[in-house]
Amino acid sequence: MRDETITGETVPVPESGYNFAYLDEGAKRMIRRAILKAVAVPGYQVPFASREMPMPYGWGTGGIQVTASILKPEDTLKVIDQGSDDTTNAVSIRRFFAKTAGVATTEKTEEANIIQTRHRIPEKPLSEDQIIVLQVPIPEPLRWLEPREVETRRMHALSDYGVMHVKLYEDISRHGRITTNYDYPVMVNGRHIMAPSPTPKFDNPKMGNMPALQLFGAGREKRIYAIPPHTEVKSLDFEDHPFSIQAWDEPCALCGAEEVFMDEVILDDQGGSMFVCSDSDFCQRRRDAGHKGPAVEGDDT
Amino acid sequence: MSELLRVENLTKSYGRQRGCTDVSFELWPGEVLAIVGESGSGKTTLLNCCAGRLAPTGGSVVYETRHKGLIDIHGMSEPERRFLMRTDWAFVHQNPRDGLRMNVSAGANVGERLMAVGARNYGNIRNAALDWLSRTEVDPDRIDDLPTTFSGGMQQRLQIARNLVSGPRLVFMDEPTGGLDVSVQARLLDMLRDLVDRLGLSAVVVTHDLAVARMLSTRLMVMQQGRVVETGLTDRVLDDPQHAYTQLLVSSVLQP
Ligand SMILES: Nc1ncnc2c1ncn2[C@@H]1O[C@H](COP(=O)(O)OP(=O)(O)OP(=O)(O)O)[C@@H](O)[C@H]1O
Ligand SMILES: [Mg+2]
């Protein structure tokens, strides 16, 4: 087979010896049934028989199994990790599907109809033609206070969610404000509390009323859950400590974007650093279109 | 005025083991009923069945709800029962660890019931917690401390604060002073009696300590081997016990 090119636009044929997208058809059917159930009950964690994948759990085996089960030969896949298409994790998952399914891959958000991600939802709004698959390490938002699975299931069944605000209360009493920045709990469709795990709370508002289908897969914990298109997603908070997202004082050093999620990049060992878009595709496209941030201002090369 | 709680022919067996057998009683608003009896006589079993924490094998527990009148609590749906248990009712465990969240602060422990029923104003929740800590004689400065750093007596008072914050009408207590030193016990009893009086609470208190029963309760029920053998006004039963077992119980306390 041919390898993917740097731009990821070459379409390789699947390597023989694999079933399409690695998983056998029986496993895919079982996972699709779990996905349908998850879509029918937004935010509800559906147990599924997670399969062994040829990579360790921390690598997003839950998301990979979900992607494998919904993938079609004509799909175009984008994979991101921490907002970036070129981290080791993203590259290996993209290669994995290019190799086992022969699907086209891309880094461009709008070109992909399936996006698998850890941490981030792309800055560019997603459309009804797209599905985003999130890799989840810890699917149970009640776990921190209630170690017993039987009891957490019961709490979900009865909407018995008082403890979620106990956690936020503790945050405020200790730090004067809600300090939870990642995996910030949400109420989905007014019924189920869900862990966006491990996305930054910056992306929580994107989850609400998103036109795209959002699927969440947890491999080690064997759970799948979903937010169907155009579903209400509300971040928990208090009246006098309302939910708010992270904000940065300066625009992206490279593309000048504001109101995006940023990473701090260390420049030297003197403590110099700059803030740049965490969504690498978004940043690159802005730069291609001529936008400049403070770090490259006046630089006309 | 009607009774707050009506228990009829309540029986609970654990397989072939008898927990309690054919117990009936009524509890009127503002009344404190003590249940006494030796270890294994079925006090905790009866209390748990009355408080909706354990499903009985037979009989019924009917509660006068604020809005819907008399309802059999074991016929309610689980969410309804849970709601009742954290609003109208309170349950104080002998061991505070069973009734507290040990890994969150005292304030969060007290505020939890309010949040569970929809309180969403942090400032108000915190003020209610401060108020209830001081009403239960826990130093309000300790509001952000974990219960693990509290003494046994303080933990028990915190458990009481956590229960009373929602303004319950009916409090179930299982040996509330059980694991405490004698001097700490006395102070807690004083506080409990004062709160019950002032708030006009109704209560069912399980104890094997007749002094506790004498101090807190208006009426007394004596249990032996799962059955009620004698019941009446507390002072009457303790001063003039009729049943041989009650006589034995009273005399064993009087003659150390
Ligand atoms: N979960 C259980 N399974 C089986 N038997 C039980 C269970 N709980 C209680 N019992 C039995 O039921 C009877 C009544 O027990 P219960 O705990 O109600 O007594 P008690 O009066 O509260 O005793 P104590 O004063 O020691 O707390 C005892 O014989 C006890 O062994
Ligand atoms: Mg007992």
Residues B155 and B107 placed together within one structural domain of the fold: yes
Of B167, B183, B214, the residue at which a domain comes to its end is B167
Atom of ligand 1 at shortest range from CA of B17: 5
The pTM score is 0.87
Residue A192 has pLDDT above 80, yes or no: yes
The pLDDT, as a whole number, for residue B71 is 94
Contact (CB<8Å) B122/A166: no
- Chain centroid to Cα B102, Å, comes to 20
Which of B167, B183, B208 is the last residue before a domain boundary? B167
Q: What is the pLDDT at residue B254?
A: 57
For residue A12, pLDDT beyond 70: no
- What is the position in ligand 1's atom list of the atom closest to the CA of B19? 12
pLDDT band at A59 (very low <50, low <70, confident <90, very high): confident
Q: Can you tell me the mean pLDDT for B220-240?
A: 96
- B158/B189 same-domain check: no
Determine which residue's CA is closest to atom 26 belonging to ligand 1: B39
Does residue B209 fall inside a structural domain?
Answer: yes
**Chain B residues with CB-CB distance to A161 below 8 A:** 116
Q: Looking at per-residue confidence, does B104 or A57 come out higher? A: B104
Residue B256 banded pLDDT, cuts 50, 70, 90: very low
For residue B79, give the chain A residue with the closest CA. Answer: A158
pLDDT of A232 over the 50 cut: yes
Looking at A3-12, A89-98, A200-209, B109-118, which range is the least confident one?
A3-12
Q: pLDDT band at residue A4, thresholds of 50, 70 and 90?
A: very low
- Could you tell me if residue B94 is inside a domain? no
Higher pLDDT, A12 or A129: A129
| For residue B104, pLDDT beyond 90 | yes
d(CA A57, nearest CA chain B) in Å: 29
Query: In this structure, which residue's CA is closest to atom 31 in ligand 1?
Result: B40
Instruction: Please indicate whether residue A12 or residue A193 has the higher confidence score (pLDDT).
Output: A193
Same domain, residue pair B141 and B182 = no
Question: Is B93 within a domain?
Answer: no
Q: Quick one: B176 and B228 in the same domain?
A: yes
CATH of residue B227's domain is: 3.40.50.300
Query: In this structure, is residue B156 part of a structural domain?
Result: yes
**Distance from the A166 Cα atom to the nearest Cα atom in chain B, whole angstroms:** 6
Residue A120, pLDDT above cutoff 90: yes
Is A172 in Cβ contact with B122 (below 8 Å)?
A: yes
pLDDT by residue (tens digit) across B36-85?
998 999 999 999 999 999 999 999 999 999 888 899 999 999 988 988 99
ipTM: 0.89
Q: Both B77 and B123 in a single domain? A: no
Residues in contact with A39: Cβ distance below 8 Å, sequence separation at least 6, in sequence order: A213, A226, A228
Residue B96 resides in a domain: no
How many percent of chain A have pLDDT more than 70? 93
Q: Is residue B79 part of a domain?
A: yes
Higher-confidence residue: A1 or B77? B77
Q: How much distance in Å is there from the Cα of B19 to the middle of ligand 1? A: 6
Residue A255 a catalytic site member? yes
Same domain (yes/no): B193, B242: yes
For chain A, which domains are there?
Answer: 25-142+178-235 (3.40.50.11310), 247-296 (no CATH)
What pLDDT score does A11 carry? 46
- The verdict on B116 and B207 lying in the same domain is no
A26 labelled catalytic: no
Band (B1; pLDDT cuts 50, 70, 90): low
Which of B79, B104, B125 lies at the smallest CB-CB distance from A158? B79
The total domain count for chain B is 2
- Radius of gyration for the alpha carbons in chain B, expressed in angstroms and rounded: 18
> B55 and B182 share a domain?
yes
> What are the DSSP calls for chain B, one per residue?
---SEEEEEEEEEETTEEEEEEEEEEE-TT-EEEEEE-TTSSHHHHHHHHTTSS--SEEEEEEEETTTEEEETTTS-HHHHHHHHHHTEEEE-SSHHHHS-TTS-HHHHHHHHHHHTT---HHHHHHHHHHHHHHTT--GGGTTS-GGGS-HHHHHHHHHHHHHTT--SEEEEESTTTTS-HHHHHHHHHHHHHHHHHHT-EEEEE-S-HHHHHHH-SEEEEEETTEEEEEEEHHHHHHS--SHHHHHHHHHHH--
Q: pLDDT tens digits, residue range A141-183?
A: 998 888 899 999 999 999 889 889 999 999 999 999 999 999 9
Residues B83 and B174 in one domain: yes
What is the pLDDT at residue A79?
97
Distance from CA of A159 to the nearest CA of B (A): 8
Nearest ligand for residue B46 CA: 1
Mark which of B148, B167, B186 sits at the end of a domain. B167
How far is the C-alpha of A105 from the C-alpha of A117, rounded, in Å? 14
Residues on B contacting A at a C-beta cutoff of 8 Å: 78-79, 82, 86, 101, 103-105, 107-108, 111-113, 115-117, 120-123, 125-126, 143-144
Query: What average pLDDT does range B200-213 have in this prediction?
Result: 94
Nearest CA in chain A to B146: A170
In this structure, the answer to whether residues B149 and B173 fall within a common structural domain is no
Active site residue A8: no
Split at pLDDT 50, 70, 90, the class of A2 is very low
Average pLDDT over residues B170-195: 91
pLDDT of residue A52: 84
Q: What is the pLDDT of residue A39?
A: 98
Classify residue B177: in a domain, yes or no: yes
From the candidates A8, A63, A83, A283, give the one annotated as an active-site residue. Answer: A283
Is A17 a residue of the active site? no
From the candidates A217, A255, A256, A293, which is the catalytic residue? A255
Q: What is the mean pLDDT of residues A9-34?
A: 80
Catalytic, A43? Answer: yes
pLDDT at position A126 over 70: yes
How would residue A104 be classed by pLDDT, with cut points 50, 70 and 90?
very high
Which pair of structure tokens corresponds to residue A265? 């990049």
Residue B182 is part of which domain span? Answer: 5-88+169-253
Any domain includes B97: no
Mean pLDDT of B2-17: 95
Q: Residues B83, B173: one domain?
A: yes
Instruction: Label residue B114 by pLDDT band (50, 70, 90).
Output: very high
Pocket of ligand 1 from Cβ distances under 6 Å: B 14, 17, 19, 37, 39-45, 208
By Cβ distance, the residue of B104, B126, B144 closest to A166 is B104
Q: What is the pLDDT of residue B68?
A: 87
User: Mean per-residue pLDDT for A113-119?
Assistant: 95
Instruction: Quote the ligand 2 centre to B43 CA distance (angstroms).
Output: 6
Average confidence score pLDDT of chain B: 94
Same domain assignment for residues B155 and B226: no
